[in-house]
Chains A and B, each alone.
Chain A
Amino acid sequence: MNRFLLPLSIFIVVVIFLGVGLKLNPREIPSPLVGKAAPDFSQPQLYDPAKVFSPADLKGKVWLLNFWASWCSGCRTEHPVLMELAKSGEVPIYGMDYKDQHDEAMTWLKRWGNPYPVVGVDDAGRVGINYGVYGVPETYVIDKQGVIRYKQIGPLDPDTVAQKILPLVKQLESK
Chain B
Amino acid sequence: MKWLMLIALLWSGPAWAGEARPLADDPAAEARLKHLAVELRCLVCQNQTLADSNAPLAEDLRREVREMIAKDMSDKDIIDFLVARYGDFVLYRPPLKATTTLLWVGPFVLLTVGATALIITLRRRAHKVVDVPVTDEEHRRVEQLLAEGGKRS
Contact = CB atoms under 8 A, between A and B. Distances in A.
A29 B85 contact: no
B60 A30 contact: no
Given A134-B43, A134-B44, A135-B44, A30 B57 contact: no
Interface in A117-145: 124-126, 128-132, 134-135
Nearest to B59: A125
A65 to B, nearest CB: 15
Nearest to B58: A134
Given A99-B56, A134-B43, A135-B44, A32 B84 contact: yes
A34 to B, nearest CB: 10
Interface of B is mostly: helix
A29 B57 contact: no
Contact of A129 (B64, B83, B87, B89): B64
Contact of A31 (B44, B46, B64, B87): B87
Contacts of B64: 126, 129
A32 B85 CA distance: 6
A85 interface: no
Interface string B64-91: 1000000000000000000111110100
Given A29-B89, A32-B87, A134-B86, A129 B61 contact: yes
Interface residues of B, number: 14
B60 A124 contact: yes
Interface string B93-120: 0000000000000000000000000000
A89 interface: no
A144 B57 CA distance: 30
Interface residues on A, range: 10 to 19
A125 B60 contact: yes
Interface string A1-40: 0000000000000000000000000100111110000000
Given A99-B56, A129-B61, A129-B64, A29 B87 contact: yes
Contacts of B86: 29, 31-32, 132, 134
Contacts of B60: 124-126, 128-129
Contacts of A124: 60
A29 B46 CA distance: 11
B152 to A, nearest CB: 42
A99 B60 CA distance: 10
Nearest to B57: A134
Contacts of B87: 29-32, 132
Contacts of B46: 26
Contacts of A128: 57, 60
A129 B56 contact: no
Interface in B7-40: none
Contact of B85 (A30, A125, A131, A135): A131
Contacts of A33: 84-85
Given A29-B86, A30-B87, A135-B43, 4 more contacts: A32-B86, A124-B60, A128-B57, A129-B85
